[in-house]
């Protein structure tokens, strides 16, 4: 599997390596299949969404997902209504507009397959006061 290491992207958040994405199906406009190696919890202070419908298949050892109550906003963001522990073998469907964050289970890095549909909008964050496009978020615009 040495070939796999050639088709990867490291995703850093601040000074920490968050995720390594291996491209199993080359990036294209119809769908993508990635192997994700999640190395640490989401760092963002706000929940994020994705610009496409997606399906995650948890491989090992699992992870915890938080989803907010989109109808209840607080000064510090949304209230979590549910935490899910996704075990190996779990299939998780996400509509494009669904907000969430991923955290490691027992601080162990996690592996999953991540399958996306076509991109139909930007992805971004929501801090409880409104949706923020990813590029604006990275520039420091927080709707605070």
Residue-wise pLDDT tens digits, 23-50: 998 778 899 999 999 999 986 677 888 8
Q: How far, in Å, CA of 2 to CA of 107, rounded?
A: 27
pLDDT value, residue 91: 98
**Nearest of 45, 38, 54 to residue 119 by alpha carbon:** 54
Does 1 reside within a domain? no
Does 99 reside within a domain? yes
- Residues above pLDDT 70, as percent of the chain: 78
Number of domains in the chain: 1
pTM: 0.81
Does 144 reside within a domain? no
Q: Which carries the bigger pLDDT value, residue 23 or residue 15?
A: 23
Cβ atoms 83, 69 nearer than 8 A: no
pLDDT category of residue 142 using cuts at 50, 70 and 90 = very low
Residue span of the structural domain in which 69 resides: 6-139
| Burial classification of residue 57, based on how many CB atoms lie within 10 Å of its CB (0-12 exposed, 13-18 middle, 19 or more buried) | middle
Please check the confidence at residue 115 and state whether its pLDDT lies above 90.
Answer: yes
pLDDT digits (tens, 9 = 90+) for 69-95: 656 555 445 565 678 999 999 999 999
CATH number at residue 79: 2.60.120.10
């Amino acid at each position: 599997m040495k070939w796999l290491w050639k088709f990867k992207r490291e995703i850093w958040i601040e000074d920490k390596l968050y995720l390594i994405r291996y491209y199993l199906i080359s990036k294209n406009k119809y769908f993508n299949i990635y192997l994700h190696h999640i190395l640490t919890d989401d760092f963002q202070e706000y929940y994020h969404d994705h610009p496409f419908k997606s399906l995650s298949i948890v491989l090992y050892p699992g992870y915890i997902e938080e989803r907010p109550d989109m109808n209840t906003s607080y000064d510090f963001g949304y209230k979590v209504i549910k935490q899910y522990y996704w075990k190996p073998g779990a299939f998780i469907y996400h509509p494009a507009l669904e907000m969430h964050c991923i955290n490691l289970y027992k601080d162990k890095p996690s592996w999953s397959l991540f399958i996306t549909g076509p991109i139909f909008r930007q992805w971004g964050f929501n801090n409880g006061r409104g949706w923020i496009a990813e590029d604006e978020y990275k520039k420091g615009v927080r709707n605070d």
